[in-house]
């Protein structure tokens, strides 16, 4: 059945030519996975991580490498591909889409590191997966000769069991208070951290977003990147990856790495609800649900929220690529708007799912149905700090009123 209110994703409207056709082929492969991801969803939740066959599907399809540099065999698609592909996979299982989006985006970020870091990872295995935890307060690093000493305990490292590396965020301490606070990302080998099996969650149960601990690890300077290098414009990796993709402001656009997951989950919820409403009758008075005005209004409202969210997400990513190609770096007002819109669009998806869940009545309460999983996953997605509209909205309002940004990573 065609998705309500949605046109098929056929390619990236920001460009035309071989890349456009290549993306259309990738989208077709992602769409083909939806039925089997849906069929495996219960097992994925039981495992609390992606099944091996699902990870193999993502590797074999090339989906993990959609924003990896072409020079190492990646697709190097425009940034909007993260939203589009996460939406497609999210229609089958939000946990799969979540890990796909996280792990594929780390190929994009590695493309901004010094070439030595890229060669160390991709030279051995261009398919190697990289986990992350970008919670700066969880780590402490100090500068030493040739690099940094890192320690800490980071939560929410999605898909970490399957990864050979991890990007861990940390504050860098200094003996000289005049140096101020520095925020950096550290690329850490699997041998240098321990995984704690902590992921027992209500939603996104299959993501395996466990804790990782680094007791004390030396990280060479080439395997570290300052947050200030990711604010937009040329990065250390631009010397070998000249595409505008690797000059985007990372943390300003961070919501859109994962926003497509909420979009796909919401669209699947709407499609399922509409299909059932077409044939179901009320248990109260045997009236056809499709004839009830309340059902019609709920479908209209939910689809409007989802379509609006999609428009915000995709147009934002397409504009960001166009800006990067012309060398424009957004100012702080524009960056806080990116974060505001990212949170707002995901909130729209959550509202749509909640609306449909409430409209479904007692049918949505059964643990054997997909609706309860879509509801749990929607709220789990929305709980990510990136999608907290109070935080994003407050910071946007501060900057609009002439006050300094509270988000020091933008």
pLDDT digits (tens, 9 = 90+) for 91-141: 999 999 999 999 999 999 999 999 999 999 999 999 999 999 999 999 999
pLDDT in tens, 336-392: 999 999 999 999 999 999 999 998 876 666 667 799 999 999 999 999 999 999 999
CA atoms within 13 A on the CB side of 347: 15
Contact in structure between 377 and 303 (CB atoms under 8 Å): no
Q: Per the structure block, which two tokens stand in for 355?
A: 């609306």
Q: Per the structure block, which two tokens stand in for 15?
A: 């460009």
Q: What is the 3-state secondary structure (H, E, C) of the chain?
A: CCCCCCCCCCCCCCCCCHHHHHHHHHHHHHHHHHHHHHHHHHHHHHHCCCCHHHHHHHHHHCHHHCCCCHHHCCCCCCCHHHHHHHHHHHCCCHHHHHHHHHHHHHHHHHCCCCHHHHHHHHCCCCCCCEEEECCHHHEEEEEECCEEEEEEEEEEECCHHHCCEEEEEEEEECCCHHHCCEEEEEEEEHHHCEEECCCCCCCCHHHCCEEEEEEEEEEEHHHEEEHHHHCCCCCHHHHCCCCHHHHCCCCCCCHHHHHHHHHHHHHHHHHHHHHHHHHCECCCCCCEHHHCHHHHHHHHHHHHHHHHHHHHHHHHHHHHHHHHHCCCCCCHHHHHHHHHHHHHHHHHHHHHHHHHHHHCHHHHHCCCCHHHHHHHHHHHHHCCHHHCHHHHHHHHHHHHCCCCCCCCCC
- Range with the lowest mean pLDDT among 295-304, 320-329, 354-363, 391-400? 354-363
User: Rounded to an integer, what distance in angstroms lies between the CA atom of residue 237 and that of residue 247?
Assistant: 9
User: Rounded to an integer, what distance in angstroms lies between the CA atom of residue 47 and that of residue 41?
Assistant: 10
**Helix pair 94-110, 115-122: axis angle to 10 deg:** 130
Given this model, what pLDDT does residue 277 score?
Answer: 84
pLDDT in tens, 148-188: 999 999 999 999 999 999 999 999 987 665 567 899 999 99
When pLDDT is cut at 50, 70 and 90, the band that residue 291 belongs to is: confident
**Helix pair 52-61, 94-110: axis angle to 10 deg:** 50
Task: Express as a percent the part of the chain with pLDDT over 90.
Answer: 85
Mean pLDDT of 285-299: 80
pLDDT at 4 over 90: no
User: Rounded to an integer, what distance in angstroms lies between the CA atom of residue 266 and that of residue 263?
Assistant: 5
pLDDT at 281 over 70: no
Given this model, what pLDDT does residue 282 score?
Answer: 55
When pLDDT is cut at 50, 70 and 90, the band that residue 75 belongs to is: very high
Phi, psi angles (nearest 5°) of residue 14: -70, -20
When pLDDT is cut at 50, 70 and 90, the band that residue 295 belongs to is: confident
User: Rounded to an integer, what distance in angstroms lies between the CA atom of residue 36 and that of residue 46?
Assistant: 16
Cβ neighbours for 213, distance < 8 A, ≥ 6 positions apart: 152, 153, 154, 193, 194, 196
User: Rounded to an integer, what distance in angstroms lies between the CA atom of residue 190 and that of residue 128?
Assistant: 11
pLDDT at 5 over 70: no
pLDDT in tens, 11-27: 444 444 568 899 999 99
Neighbours of 323 (CB within 10 A): 18
Given this model, what pLDDT does residue 15 score?
Answer: 43
pLDDT at 3 over 60: no
Is the full-model pTM beyond 0.85? Answer: yes
Q: What is the overall mean pLDDT for the chain?
A: 92
Cβ neighbours for 9, distance < 8 A, ≥ 6 positions apart: 27, 84, 87, 88
Domains and CATH numbers, the chain: 18-126 (1.10.540.10), 130-240 (2.40.110.10), 255-400 (1.20.140.10)
Q: How far is CA 171 from the centre of its chain?
A: 23
pLDDT in tens, 322-351: 999 999 999 999 999 999 999 999 999 999
Task: Express as a percent the part of the chain with pLDDT over 70.
Answer: 91
pLDDT at 293 over 90: no
Contact in structure between 300 and 292 (CB atoms under 8 Å): no
- Range with the lowest mean pLDDT among 129-143, 173-187, 230-244, 279-293? 279-293
Mean pLDDT of 219-239: 97
């Amino acid at each position: 059945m065609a998705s309500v209110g949605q046109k098929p994703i056929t390619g990236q409207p920001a460009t035309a030519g071989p890349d456009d056709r290549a993306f259309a082929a990738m989208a077709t492969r992602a769409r083909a996975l939806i039925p089997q991801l849906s069929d495996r969803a219960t097992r994925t939740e039981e495992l609390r991580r992606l099944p091996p066959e699902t990870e193999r599907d993502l590797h074999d399809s090339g989906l993990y490498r959609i924003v990896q540099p072409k020079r190492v065999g990646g697709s190097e698609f425009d940034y909007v591909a993260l939203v589009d592909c996460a939406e497609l996979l999210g229609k089958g299982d939000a946990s799969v889409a979540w890990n796909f989006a996280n792990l594929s985006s780390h190929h994009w970020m590695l493309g901004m590191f010094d070439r030595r870091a890229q060669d160390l990872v991709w030279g051995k295995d261009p398919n190697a997966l990289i986990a992350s935890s970008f919670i700066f307060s969880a780590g402490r690093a100090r500068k030493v000769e040739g690099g940094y000493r890192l320690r800490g305990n980071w939560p929410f490292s999605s898909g970490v069991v399957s990864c050979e590396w991890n990007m861990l965020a940390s504050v860098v301490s200094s003996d000289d208070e005049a140096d101020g606070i520095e925020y950096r990302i550290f690329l850490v080998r699997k041998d240098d951290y321990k995984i704690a099996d902590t992921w027992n969650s209500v939603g996104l149960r299959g993501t395996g977003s466990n804790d990782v601990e680094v007791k004390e690890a030396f990280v060479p300077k080439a395997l570290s990147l300052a947050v200030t290098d990711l604010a937009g414009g040329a990065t250390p990796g631009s010397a070998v990856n000249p595409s505008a993709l690797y000059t985007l402001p990372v943390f300003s656009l961070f919501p859109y790495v994962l926003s497509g997951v909420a979009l796909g989950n919401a669209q699947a919820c709407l499609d399922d609800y509409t299909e059932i409403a077409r044939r179901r009758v009320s248990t109260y008075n045997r009236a056809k649900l499709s004839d009830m005005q309340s059902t019609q209004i709920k479908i209209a409202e939910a689809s409007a929220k989802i379509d609006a969210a999609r428009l915000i997400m995709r147009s934002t990513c397409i504009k960001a690529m166009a800006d990067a190609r012309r060398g424009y770096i957004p100012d702080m007002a524009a960056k806080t708007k990116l974060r505001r819109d990212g949170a707002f669009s995901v909130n729209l998806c959550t509202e749509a799912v909640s609306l449909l869940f409430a409209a479904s009545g007692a049918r949505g309460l059964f643990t054997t149905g997909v609706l309860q999983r879509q509801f749990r996953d929607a709220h789990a997605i929305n709980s990510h700090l990136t999608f907290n509209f109070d935080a994003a909205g407050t910071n946007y309002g501060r900057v609009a009123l002439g006050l300094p940004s509270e988000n020091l990573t933008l």
